[in-house]
Amino acid sequence: MHELRKDPIIGRWVIMAKDRARRPGNFIVSDKSNADISLQKECCFCEGHEKETPPEIYAIRDNHSKPNTEGWKVRVVPDKNPILDADVDLTPKGHGLYDVLEGRGAHEVIVETPSHIANMADLDIDQIALVIQTYVARINDLEKDKRLQYVLAHKNYNWSRDSQNITHSYSEIIATPVNPMRVKEELNGSKKYYDCHERCIYCDLIKQEVAAKERVVFENDHFIAIVPFASRFPFELWVLPKKHNAQFPKGINGLELELAKTLKEVLLKIKEGLGDPAYHFVVHTAPFQRQKGKSMRVNTMEEDYHWHIEIMPRLTHTAGFEKGTGFYICPIPPEEAASYLREVEI
Amino acid sequence: MHELRKDPIIGRWVIMAKDRARRPGNFIVSDKSNADISLQKECCFCEGHEKETPPEIYAIRDNHSKPNTEGWKVRVVPDKNPILDADVDLTPKGHGLYDVLEGRGAHEVIVETPSHIANMADLDIDQIALVIQTYVARINDLEKDKRLQYVLAHKNYNWSRDSQNITHSYSEIIATPVNPMRVKEELNGSKKYYDCHERCIYCDLIKQEVAAKERVVFENDHFIAIVPFASRFPFELWVLPKKHNAQFPKGINGLELELAKTLKEVLLKIKEGLGDPAYHFVVHTAPFQRQKGKSMRVNTMEEDYHWHIEIMPRLTHTAGFEKGTGFYICPIPPEEAASYLREVEI
């Protein structure tokens, strides 16, 4: 038997397996697609190979080291094949029914470590904190470009769009001139809730999850990691700050190390418990508050939205039904997934 | 350079490659994951193996043949591992913030041919027409169950959720007790357009595409197959009936053979032109018009919505950015994809 569960924020229904769920052990990846890290001797992201990437945009460096040389801890370079580009006209065009906007934006790569380490889970906590600090620095810098509406800091581990075979831990920054639909859906849903209750729906959700315990994977004073009630993917995780803030750069201020501890914990659990699968994570933060922002309200956003990170291990594939309906099919109940991950020893 | 394109119906933005697009030839699947059809000697979907499936729900049969024996042309059986089930209570439940609905519905398999043929593209046109006729019969039958809101007829070729290795051409029917988000988005978008223009947006879109020609892959008197302006996936195709109708079962009446010709044509082009890739297709029709339907308006739906089929070849993978934003990244412009497919000789 199964049940339908509705994400309380954006209203998406998920069909949730109850009794024909696969056992957690069945998700373990046996045929590892991960390239052998030891074979990759010439990695352009390793320290000493700075000349093999485009010039750096930003770096956290030792005091006396120069840009594009050794001595860095985290390094940001433009993506060699950017999805969005900085130098285009942003005038909207119409073609009859259709609207077109040039793809202005930014696409950057954050090299998370000078050493050849593949998985963020294997970085030191201090190093992960530097990566988080870098997300903030890049978002704050890109906010200055008034033509940009949104910046998505995200990560694809062991998964590449272009079949590149990079086994060095990196994140991506993509800045867009329009607000992403997924984020708008969350904003709309959280605003509706706020209008009704005058409370943030994420804050209420955290309270309920802390009380219920069954979907909590990890918790410290500042963060909670849960398998969401209506998870789209098996072992999907949300990392939520307990203190309300709509904006990631403001909300994370002073808590970089706490978030790093939380990420390290849950990413290691995914690695050890699920056979080192590919995963994605995305940082969801409120859009920039532009004076002339066409599509975004600015009134209650600070009160009703709540930044968070969504982590999606890559264990199943979607098919025509999901693509055709927007329903997702999640083959393991969140409570069972959370229980399994809680018990993974790391 | 790239551009952002907005789907005029549901408002989804797509980042569209312009100059760094992959050439169509690059999408050809070289490492075929398709199981060798000749090796599969014992197929439970083949004629003569009727006892190996659950008893049939429906079949198109020779005059004197009995259910669950030989002599059928198309056969419908319940899915052995249904995503949704018929025998559950439909009372909504709440858990604090969360809404839960038992997973009532239906999940059926349509075996498209008694012969062991893998791809619908390789069926005779008459046979494809019988499959279409079966979609209609099942949707009409399921409509009688007043607890169901929607039926999705769809197909996954060479792609299985459960890693089953079925190489016999089949479709699936999934009926749901709530309306799918993707369809609601389309309904909302088309209603907005209708409220403004008093015309169906799909009808206007067809007119514009016929005039522009550049995204048309195939056209006959009754149907048009286009690569949509804001396609989410490379070589995505929409098959649209030229005559307006919101409901697939009503709209297709008398045109089964014409649709079969159209499907055969475009599926063969995908097979021959793109190296026989996996694909999905979904039939989008208006939801059932329930008197007590909670979530669906019934007033102008017949005028403003327009049934259609979306075909999605499986050539790329989405990553964290797509999942995190709702943006899709499509690496080939629709005009180029359409041009390539138009020229594929079949």
How close B268 gets to chain A, by Cα (Å)? 19
d(CA B331, CA B317): 11
pTM: 0.85
User: Which residue has tokens 């985290």?
Assistant: A74
The ipTM is: 0.80
- Chain-wide mean pLDDT for chain A? 83
Topology adopted by domain B2-343: HIT family, subunit A (3.30.428)
Q: H or E segment at A99? A: strand A98-102
Report the pLDDT value the prediction gives residue A24, as an integer from 0 to 100.
46
Contact A52, A70 (CB under 8 A): no
Q: What is the DSSP letter of B273?
A: H
In chain B the first and final C-alpha atoms are separated, in Å, by 33
How close A71 gets to chain B, by Cα (Å)? 30
State yes or no: pLDDT of A215 exceeds 70. yes
Nearest to A101 among B3, B98, B102 (CB): B3
Contacts of B172 in chain A (CB under 8 A): 320-321
State yes or no: pLDDT of A36 exceeds 90. no
Q: What is the pLDDT of residues B124-180, one digit of tens each?
A: 999 999 999 999 999 999 999 988 889 999 999 987 655 466 889 999 999 988 888
The reply to whether residue A312 touches residue B320, judged by beta carbons under 8 angstroms, is yes
Instruction: Report the pLDDT averaged over residues B244-267.
Output: 97
The reply to whether residue A281 touches residue B320, judged by beta carbons under 8 angstroms, is yes
Q: What are the Cα distances from residue B245, in Å, to A99, A324, B74, B202?
A: 26, 19, 26, 10
| Residue A196 neighbours by CB under 8 Å, 6+ apart | none
* Nearest alpha-carbon partner for A249 in A281, A286, A223, A291: A286
The reply to whether residue A152 touches residue B321, judged by beta carbons under 8 angstroms, is yes
Report the pLDDT value the prediction gives residue B82, as an integer from 0 to 100.
73
State yes or no: pLDDT of B237 exceeds 60. yes
Nearest residue of A to residue B174, measured between CA atoms: A321
The reply to whether residue A327 touches residue B159, judged by beta carbons under 8 angstroms, is no
Q: What is the pLDDT of residues A293-339, one digit of tens each?
A: 444 555 567 889 999 999 999 887 777 777 777 777 777 888 889 99
Contact B268, B120 (CB under 8 A): no
Give A266 or B26, the one with higher predicted confidence: A266
Contacts of B154 in chain A (CB under 8 A): 320-321, 324
Q: What is the DSSP letter of A284?
A: E
Q: Where exactly are the structural domains of chain B?
A: 2-343
Quote the tokens at residue A192: 């509706």
Nearest to A208 among B3, B96, B172 (CB): B96
- Chain-wide mean pLDDT for chain B? 83
A210-224, B164-178, B204-218: the lowest-pLDDT one:
B164-178
Nearest to B102 among A3, A98, A281 (CB): A3
Nearest residue of B to residue A87, measured between CA atoms: B1
State yes or no: pLDDT of B298 exceeds 90. no
How close B120 gets to chain A, by Cα (Å)? 15
The reply to whether residue A98 touches residue B176, judged by beta carbons under 8 angstroms, is no
